[in-house]
Structure 1
Amino acid sequence: MTDLRAPIAPAFTEQSLPPWRRAVLKVGSSLLAADGGGLSPRHALGLAQFVSTHVGAGREVVIVSSGAVAAGRAILPRAAEQGAAMAARQALAALGQAQLMALWQRFFERPVAQVLLTHDDLRNRRRYLNARATLNELLRLGALPVVNENDTVSVDELKLGDNDNLAAIVAALVDADALFIATDIDGLYSADPRQNPNAEPINEVTELDAGVLAMAGGSGASGMGTGGMRTKLEAAAKAGAAGIETYLFNGRSGEVLRALGHDRLRGTRLHPARTRIAARKYWLRHAPVEPGAILVDAGAARALAEKGASLLPGGVTQAQGEFRRGDMVEIRTPGEGGEQAIARGVSQYSAQDIRRLAGRHSRDIESILGYNYGENIVHRDDLVLLTA
């Protein structure tokens, strides 16, 4: 006799996820918007439980959340018709940010921290470093960062951008191992399943080529979001270039979310183009360097080459040029034929600051400069050797 209560087999094959330490979870407007306007906790609760499960297990999660405009639309509905003037949409985003943060805070005992970014913040190296330092410190303190675009001032981003790609950039920013994208369908299909009943689920993508991109359909069923499946694949490509895996799944399914809490995915797994370490080292090796250099003594050169150490002020002898904090610069040491470039990396301090710190102890940085960006001149994660 057939058991009518037996669950229907999922369209996507359940698969185990590789271990991860830090992840970014992107949540779109279609999962947070209420049918009558404003925000709804209906799907947010399951997503928050997924976060709490992994944070409780000692992992770290950054949420990239849409929904501010939808929240503002409920406060001033008459100013919120689709296609409203950009200034009106910016005002709605400003009104809705507080509502969005209140929605997330209600689910967590730990503090929730709002971080508003624009793409300009992430293109500019100095602002990029400041954003990374802030997010890392929030995670260290045990807070839950909730990131959103600063739509109140970002005209182009609000009109043309999407939080899928922002989530990929944030994942690279915080050196995440995984990017989880919660959507309103089960994952990537060979065609739009809402229009083609013969669409086949794609459980795994090993290479994001033109054929895979051609499978992408339009926006989610709710029409609330700014990005469809194609933007999610573009985000996966950005994350993959940094060595980060991406997982697409249905954020409306409690069963799917409970499985994710046990590192079991029912959705689409998109593999990165290369390992995270290889991607990072490739960028460090090939990114343009600024004129000038940091000169180090023989002891510091050996520590960099043989121990994989960070560069500390005590090993620095001089700074050449006028580079700024966040610039990519060469690290050189005296050799038989003159100065030899032994490494390159992202400087945490300007050339002017380094000249004042050369040869001093890290504990003296704040007393010398009046501020402190950390004990390292160049952190080992931001450094690549040029010699064997």
Structure 2
Amino acid sequence: MNISSWKRIVIKVGSALIAPKQNGCSSRYLLGIAQFIVRCKSMGIEVVLVSSGSVAAGSHLFDDKKEVNMAMKKAMAAAGQMEMMATWDKLFDFPTAQILVTHGDLRDRERYVSIKETILALLKNDILPVLNENDTVTTDKLKVGDNDNLSAMIAAAADADTLIICSDVDGLYDSNPHENPDAKLIAKVNHIDASIFSMAGGASSAVGTGGMKTKVQAAQKAVAHGIDTFLINGFTEQSFNALISGKNPGTHFPSSQQPMKEHLHWMTHTSTAQGEVVVDNGFNAGLEDDSDQLTSDEIVEVNGDFSVGDTILVRKDDGTRLAKAKSNYSSCLLSFIAEQDDKSFASKLQNTTGPIISENNIAVLEEK
């Protein structure tokens, strides 16, 4: 690895580093991370920080912790976010900025582009963007759920070339190092498949919400966008010294040699399907080559409530996922066309209105 080639990096810091004892924020582990960020900036590398920890940072301000419901967690997040930002801000001699997002913001193309523009404007003005999920307002429907995957989405939005995910272990092991002293560290993962996911266990920290699985998921998202990803131990300063020296202190997930186009990556890894179009099991059209082959004749059913421009899932009746795509039809109109017995009428209507999905707005999915 060659740190001199880095132009823009995203570093993800978890709750266990922010508030290790859930008694407010602590600079114990953050000092080393802050020094790494300062050193990167001194080398001309732009940095974006994705920081968890608002709930963990704010929990000590609440007396009754026996029955912590969702409203209480949101209140903890609201209080803790202020303390967390204040802690980060005092560690730097340059300005920081707070950006709170939900998955609802990221999966909406217009808001996604707005987030991208804000991040780039802050970097241009030498201001450190600090992002976190907006736990105070998010719901189950709108949340990402973990900041590992959020960091990968932000890395893609920010056009970063490197993503650094801090963990409580040195990297990805072939088994849980907290349970197996003979577990071996995997220094490099060239391809993320089922065997890699099988090595990812649950979270060992009682503070954070993300385990090793979410970190591998994040790496998968990032490398598909052409982003080198490193999983390192954020609790030790040696990890960051190694990175500065051009050494790999943990697990390196090299970027894809053929990264996905930006809007297709967004559709595959960030946008959520608002509905689905189920086609006949015999459907064999090459969606990426000629989307006009998908006609109402092949549609078995239309599920969900979606509008023109929403992302939908195209799958076969047997459950095989074919693609995610931008729909040129609402679910209401598409259902109406698919239900017509008069196929000539359906064909005439579709010829007038246009293709169901357009060739340049289809992300073909790989079989898992």
Same fold judged by TM-score > 0.5?
A: yes
| 8 Å CA contact 1:237, 1:272 repeated in 2 | no
1:194–1:18: structure 2 CA closer, same or farther, 3 Å change rule?
farther
Larger mean CA deviation between 22-31 and 148-157 belongs to 148-157
Q: CA deviation at 1:242?
A: 1.1
* Residue 274 of structure 1, CA deviation: 3.7
Aligned residue for 1:301? none
* CA displacement at 1:251 relative to structure 2: 0.7
Verify: 1:180 aligned to 2:164, yes or no. yes
Matched pairs, number: 276
| Larger Rg computed on CA atoms | 1
CA-to-aligned-CA distance 1:27-46 (integer Å, 9 cap, x gap) = 00111114261111000000
Gaps of 5+ in 2: 272-307, 312-359, 361-368
**1:130 maps onto 2:139 in alignment:** no
1:168 maps to what in 2?
A: 152
Q: Which whole-Å deviations, capped at 9, do the CAs of 1:102-130 have from their partners, x for residues lacking one?
A: 11011101111000000111100111111
- Please list, as runs of the form range in 1=range in 2, the aligned pairs for 1:302-381 lying within 5 A after superposition: none
Aligned to 1:70: 56
Quick check: 2:167–2:234 contact (8 Å CA) kept in 1? yes
Q: Is the 8 A contact 2:119 2:158 kept in 1?
A: yes
The reply on whether 1:267 has 2:283 as its aligned counterpart is: no
- Of the three residues 245, 262, 287, the one matched with 1:280 is 262
Report the equivalent of 2:213: 230
- Gap change, CA 1:58 and 1:80, over 3 Å in 2: farther
Deviation at 1:280, TM superposition (A): 3.2
The 5 A counterparts of 1:44-59 are 44-59=30-45
Match of 2:125 in 1: 141
Q: Which of these residues, 228, 232, 250, is aligned with residue 233 of structure 2?
A: 250
8 Å contact from structure 1 (residues 151, 157) kept in 2: no
Query: Once the 2 structures are TM-superposed, how far is the Cα of residue 243 of structure 1 from its aligned partner?
Result: 1.4
Between the aligned partners of 1:216 and 1:282, the Cα distance in structure 2 is 27
Q: CA RMSD in A?
A: 2.8
Is there any run of 5+ residues in structure 1 with no aligned partner, and where? Answer: 1-14, 288-323, 329-383
**Tell me, what secondary structure is at the counterpart of 1:155?**
coil
1:169-226: CA deviation from partner (whole Å, max 9, x where unpaired):
0000010001100111110000001111221110000000000110011103x31000
Aligned AA (2:104): D
2:10 matched to 1:24?
yes
C-alpha displacement of 1:17:
5.3
- 8 Å Cα contact 1:73/1:79 also seen in 2: no
Q: Structure 1 runs of 4+ off > 3 angstroms?
A: 15-18, 157-160, 273-276, 278-287
Shift of 1:158: 9.0
d(CA) in 2 for partners of 1:153, 1:279: 31
- Can you list the C-alpha shifts for 1:126-177, whole angstroms capped at 9, x where unaligned? 1111111111100001000100000000122798710000000000001000
Equivalent pairs: percent with the same residue? 45
Relative to structure 1, the CA distance from residue 38 to residue 127 in structure 2 (aligned partners, 3 Å threshold; closer, same or farther) is: same
SS in 2 for 1:61: strand
Alignment of 1:210-221 (within 5 A): 210-220=194-204
Aligned with residue 207 of structure 1, among 188, 191, 198: 191
Pair 1:230–1:49, CA change in 2 (3 A) = same
CA contact (8 A) 2:225 2:265 kept: no
Q: What are the superposed Cα offsets for residues 298-341 of structure 1, whole Å, 9 maximum, x if unpaired?
A: xxxxxxxxxxxxxxxxxxxxxxxxxx9x999xxxxxxxxxxxxx
Question: C-alpha separation between the residues in 1 aligned to 2:134 and 2:30?
Answer: 21
